[in-house]
Structures are given as C-alpha cells and as structure tokens.
C-alpha cells in the first residue's frame, strides 16, 4: 500500500432538475494538492434533512492528474450519512476506473475538515 496526503478545495453547486422531490442534485468539483495533484468533476445526490442532523449523500467524481508522479485518472465513489450517532463517510477508488499509469488503482480516500479547510489521506495500491 502507498499513502498520499494533502489538501483540496471544493466547489459545489445545485443542478437542475432534481430527480424527484426530496432529493438534491449537485455538481462537485475539486482542486487537489499534495501527493495527488489533480482536478475532479462529479455529481452528488443528497437526501434527508441536514439541518435536523439526519441526511446522506452519494457521489461519483472523476479525478485527473498525477499521484506520486504517475499520470492518469480514476473515479472516486462517496457514501456518507449523518444521524444521532454522528457522521459516517466512505470514499473509495472505483474498481476498474483507473487509466494511464493509474490503471488498476484501488484504495480508500479519507476526507477531514478542520477550521473550514479540507484535507485528504489516500491509501492506495497499484498493480506491480
């Protein structure tokens, strides 16, 4: 396994039309710095009531750039909820989505937000 870390900025905007009443649809685009130098483009769907502390989202974003000097792209899949027990988030590299020198990538992407700043840690593996 390899370990990458760094920071990112995120740009989220509502998209229309939403699929049905009660589900939100958003663009989710990031600029990532650190061991992963990349940009992403994706979409996110939300449900629930975040103001009441009970909600969830799923998202897919396509990452293009360099990871520890290897150029290519891959997709990240998000699954997150929050409820009375607190937040839970899982973000993984989508199997089969890697291209270029990142072909075959697999791993877990952990997001942390502190004082309004976004940080990531990416534990990943590439085929030999």
What is the distance between the alpha carbons of residues 44 and 55, in angstroms, rounded to a whole number? 13
Structure tokens of 44?
A: 């996110």
The CATH number of whichever domain residue 13 belongs to comes to 2.40.350.10
DSSP 42-86: EEEEEEEEGGGTEEEEEEEEEEEEEETTEEEEEEEEEEEEEETTE
Q: Residue 50 has what pLDDT?
A: 82
Q: Which of the two residues, 67 and 53, has the higher pLDDT score? A: 67
Residue 110, domain extent: 2-125
For the chain, the domain total comes to 1
Q: Residue 86 has what pLDDT?
A: 87
Q: Residue 74 has what pLDDT?
A: 98
pLDDT digit string, tens, across residues 3-37: 999 999 999 999 998 889 889 999 999 999 999 99
Cα-Cα-Cα-Cα dihedral sign, residues 114, 119, 125, 128: negative
Q: In which band, very low, low, confident or very high, does the pLDDT at 128 lie, cut at 50, 70 and 90? A: confident
What is the distance between the alpha carbons of residues 89 and 118, in angstroms, rounded to a whole number? 14
- Closest by alpha carbon to 94, among 79, 110, 109, 77? 77
pLDDT digit string, tens, across residues 89-114: 999 999 999 999 999 999 999 999 99
Check residue 101 and give left, alpha or beta (phi > 0: left; psi -120 to 50: alpha): alpha
């Amino acid at each position: 396994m390899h370990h990458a870390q760094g920071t990112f900025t995120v740009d989220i905007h509502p998209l229309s039309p939403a699929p049905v009443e009660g589900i939100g649809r958003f663009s989710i685009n990031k600029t990532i710095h650190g061991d992963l130098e990349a940009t992403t483009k994706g979409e996110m769907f939300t449900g629930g009531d975040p103001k009441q502390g009970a909600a969830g989202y799923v998202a897919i974003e396509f990452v293009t750039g360099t990871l520890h000097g290897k150029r290519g792209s891959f997709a990240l899949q998000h699954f997150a909820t929050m409820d009375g027990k607190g937040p839970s988030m899982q973000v993984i590299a989508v199997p089969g989505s890697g291209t270029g020198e990142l072909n075959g990538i697999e791993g877990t992407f952990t997001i942390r937000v502190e004082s309004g700043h976004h940080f990531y840690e990416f534990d990943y593996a590439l085929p030999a």
